[in-house]
Structure 1
Amino acid sequence: MTPYFDYAATTPLDPRVEAAMGRASSLGGVFANPSSDHPAGRLAATAVERASEQVRRCINAVDYRVTWTSGATESNNLAILGHVTAQLRRGRERRRLLVAATEHAAVLAAAQAAEALGFSLEQLPVEADGRLAPATLDAALDDDVALVSVGHVNNETGVVQPLASLAPLIQAAGALFHIDAAQGAGRLPLDASTLGADLVSLSAHKFYGPKGIGALVHHANVRLAPLLHGGGQQQGLRPGTLPVASIVGLGEALALADDEVERERQVSLRDALRDRLAALGGVVVNGAVDGSPHVLNVAFAGVHGDALRSRLADLNVSFGSACSGRAGASHVLRAMARPDALADAAVRFSLGRFTTPADIDFIVERVASDVAALRAISPVWREIRAGRKLSDVYGVATLPELA
């Protein structure tokens, strides 16, 4: 089987998680409706609460509530639209939303939907390495900002945002702080309490749990309005019968979060992949080099994006976010000032818990061969080989070239 290099899109179910879910699903397990007031229902409710504790423990959110959702997309919508709707109902005056320009589409679309409710949205520019500079955020903050949303780890580039530097600024402005942790939870440490995060979005399938289950972890003082109606489950905030086995799976997956040894192993594999691809020349890394251990996003100069996607179509790699479709160049790379022609020739390699050195060997050999074949017929690559700078070829002032 072709090695899998799309862990940022979704991860395989960890066998230990699968076993825990199996035990929860059987007749002798905790399959019952946790809202039912009988022994089996109470047993299921206890399993749900145990999973909630596992979530709180993983991200140090002791005084927070856990609201179960279908995934990070719903969690992001509930965080943003749930908050702004509650603001309106309470007559609050804050009407501005700030988000980093590189945020996931679920965050951007939810914030854009809030504009129809009378809120204004400002997408904050990031640096060339993909980070949101504290000074940029500070300049945009005032007493009219209702909420700031910043992702922990970018899903396309693996850039880790400087949350510890951003959080005090948000707190000082009196705005709520939402973190989309879908790509970072279970991979990197996240301390919600120390950061003063008000809302944190999670999605189980990003950290070796089941698809279709997520959570919004929110401070008890945060007021949210429900997006769905029809039942009283979860204090009426998110109605619907709870999928106990999936919830058990999410909790177990977070309890098995990658430790420092596993993170270092993935960093070693990622760096080996980066360095060997850099040896091809004309390779641009998209994102800070000290990003999340599992993501490497690189662009191959002198190669047409469509041709590259065609050549690599049988490989388990990605060309941006799996959620974004192919509507032009990546908005993330555009926000990082990458020219469209180069952004369109970018590939995201994301590895994980089951990636091996042999997988790295395979992917390097295949990609090197295909890129070489495309460059052999590329007039742009001939210009680069003749000594023309990448920045001149692509019409930009600077470009962080690896080799």
Structure 2
Amino acid sequence: MIYLDNNATTRVDDAVLDTMLPYLKEDYGNASSLQHRLGRAANHAVETARKQIAAYFGVSTKEIFFTSGATESINMVLRGIWERYQHLGKHIITTKAEHKAVLSTLEALQKKGARISYLSLDKYGNISLEELERSITSDTILMCFMHANNETGVIHPVEEIAKIATQRKVIFFSDTTQAIGKLPFTYGDSGIDVCCFSAHKLHGPKGIGGVYIRRKSRPIQIEPLITGGKQENSLRGGTYNTAAIAGMGKAFEMLSEATPGDIEAKRKYFENRLIDEIEETTIHAAHVPRLCNTSNILFKYVRSVELMSKLPDIAISSGSACVSGDREPSHVLTAMGVDAEDALCSIRFSLSKYTTKEELDSAIEKIKMAVQSIRNSSPIWQMYKANLL
């Protein structure tokens, strides 16, 4: 299997797995049971991971909180901020290209009285900072923009957005799930108030993630989503997933060893060969800042569903894993103005540090044959080639 779906999930690094195993076998105590050695060993693992993650973000350990993953973090943040701050205002600003976890949660808040403004995107997936400033009112309590898009890799100027948020006294939440580890960035210096992360996007385990909540200047208060015990300073009740937390900490620690430039070089090689060797191939958002590993590629008149069925040995997707079973065109691409037919003919490829040039060469040959096979039997493609469309 050639795995090119790393924005959906990643292989667990061997060092991460080795870090986790002791807390599944020998040191299996409850991290809240400080009265005995096994509990203290588990607690030490949790707090070590918190230090590792805080060091990556450049923030205090008191500003890092653990959850089951980015989706829970997003729900915690959006619902928690709404509950805490709706008395000050009911207006939230975002775009229609956010992750479905954001969009679905905002739809739920809308039913509770929130007023949502969706900024437009240009054909490259960029927002307008001028439109953002015009959209802020005295009723605005929150703006929500992902750092990098999970389908196209397009990077938003979060530091500039943060400056606007600070000046206008609006909370800025950024879904940073895809960006972490893929570009040099220090979130603690960025001005972002709140952001989230998920371990399985960076060679850590599934089912664990967290949120950074600014506590130093302009401290942000969030109502808990899950109540129970007093874990996470009463922000998120529940028994600690010690092994997964330890593994996530190790995954963050290893990000300093990552070489995004190497991955980007492979991505460019992959894209250039496809463009050169398959006619009517387009890279979405090719000329704007993108994640080093992400390519969203249109093969004209080749439906992504049909292409994927002809490539059983290549792991790819037509969009976010959370909506991969959806037969509707990508909400991200349509928000960028891509027409429905082209959106349905677009495929996301996402690389990792484990992707080899040999795998890419093999994938390219398989893709070429599959595209040619589909087009040879396509009346629409023949009409297009004959200038009848």
Category of TM-score, reference length = shorter chain = over 0.9
Contact 1:63 1:219 in 2 (8 A): no
Contact 2:159 2:192 in 1 (8 A): no
TM-score (norm 2): 0.93
CA shift at 1:361, angstroms? 0.5
Contact 1:59 1:189 in 2 (8 A): no
Determine the C-alpha separation between the residues in 2 that align with 1:171 and 1:128.
Answer: 28
Q: Which residue of 2 aligns with 1:268?
A: 265
Which residue among 107, 110, 117 is the counterpart of 1:112? 107
Determine the C-alpha separation between the residues in 1 that align with 2:285 and 2:311.
Answer: 22
Determine the C-alpha separation between the residues in 2 that align with 1:113 and 1:143.
Answer: 22
Matched, 1:292 2:254: no
Q: Which moved more, 1:15-24 or 1:185-194?
A: 185-194
From the superposition, tell whether residues 157 and 378 of structure 1 become closer, same or farther in structure 2 (CA, over 3 Å).
same
Matched, 1:22 2:21: yes
Contact 2:2 2:313 in 1 (8 A): no
Matched residue count: 382
CA shift at 1:333, angstroms? 0.4
Map Cα deviations across residues 68-121 of structure 1 (whole Å, 9 max, x no partner). 111000001101101111124xxx321111112211001111111111221111
Q: Which residue of 2 aligns with 1:401?
A: none
Determine the C-alpha separation between the residues in 2 that align with 1:332 and 1:64.
Answer: 35
Map Cα deviations across residues 350-397 of structure 1 (whole Å, 9 max, x no partner). 110110000100110000111111122334433544568xxxx5xxxx
From the superposition, tell whether residues 349 and 305 of structure 1 become closer, same or farther in structure 2 (CA, over 3 Å).
closer
From the superposition, tell whether residues 258 and 130 of structure 1 become closer, same or farther in structure 2 (CA, over 3 Å).
farther
Which residue among 235, 240, 243 is the counterpart of 2:241? 243
Moved over 6 A (4+): none
Contact 1:150 1:180 in 2 (8 A): yes
The CA RMSD over aligned residues, in Å, is 1.8
Residue type of the alignment partner of 2:191: G
Secondary structure, counterpart of 1:147 in structure 2: strand
Q: Which residue of 2 aligns with 1:400?
A: none
CA shift at 1:136, angstroms? 2.4
Residue type of the alignment partner of 1:14: D
Q: Which residue of 1 aligns with 2:173?
A: 178
Matched, 1:228 2:223: no
Q: Which residue of 2 aligns with 1:278?
A: 275
Secondary structure, counterpart of 1:148 in structure 2: strand
Q: Which residue of 2 aligns with 1:398?
A: none
Residue type of the alignment partner of 1:367: I
Q: Which residue of 2 aligns with 1:319?
A: 318
Counterparts of residues 60-139 of structure 1 (less than 5 Å):
60-62=58-60, 65-88=63-86, 92-139=87-134
Contact 1:159 1:288 in 2 (8 A): no
CA shift at 1:65, angstroms? 1.6
Q: State the percentage of identical aligned residues.
A: 31
Determine the C-alpha separation between the residues in 2 that align with 1:97 and 1:313.
Answer: 42
From the superposition, tell whether residues 354 and 306 of structure 1 become closer, same or farther in structure 2 (CA, over 3 Å).
closer
Determine the C-alpha separation between the residues in 2 that align with 1:188 and 1:213.
Answer: 22
From the superposition, tell whether residues 26 and 326 of structure 1 become closer, same or farther in structure 2 (CA, over 3 Å).
same
Matched, 1:57 2:50: no
Contact 2:31 2:43 in 1 (8 A): yes
Contact 2:31 2:40 in 1 (8 A): yes
Residue type of the alignment partner of 2:142: L
Determine the C-alpha separation between the residues in 1 that align with 2:34 and 2:368.
Answer: 61
Contact 1:64 1:217 in 2 (8 A): no
From the superposition, tell whether residues 179 and 144 of structure 1 become closer, same or farther in structure 2 (CA, over 3 Å).
same
Q: Which residue of 2 aligns with 1:37?
A: 34
TM-score (norm 1): 0.90
Secondary structure, counterpart of 1:256 in structure 2: helix
Map Cα deviations across residues 200-234 of structure 1 (whole Å, 9 max, x no partner). 10000000000000001101221111112222222
Contact 1:188 1:258 in 2 (8 A): no
Residue type of the alignment partner of 2:261: E
Q: Which residue of 2 aligns with 1:341?
A: 341
From the superposition, tell whether residues 15 and 71 of structure 1 become closer, same or farther in structure 2 (CA, over 3 Å).
same
Matched, 1:367 2:340: no
Q: Which residue of 1 aligns with 2:194?
A: 199
Contact 2:31 2:41 in 1 (8 A): yes
Secondary structure, counterpart of 2:315 in structure 1: coil
Determine the C-alpha separation between the residues in 2 that align with 1:162 and 1:313.
Answer: 37
Contact 1:130 1:288 in 2 (8 A): no
Q: Which residue of 1 aligns with 2:144?
A: 149
Determine the C-alpha separation between the residues in 2 that align with 1:179 and 1:369.
Answer: 40
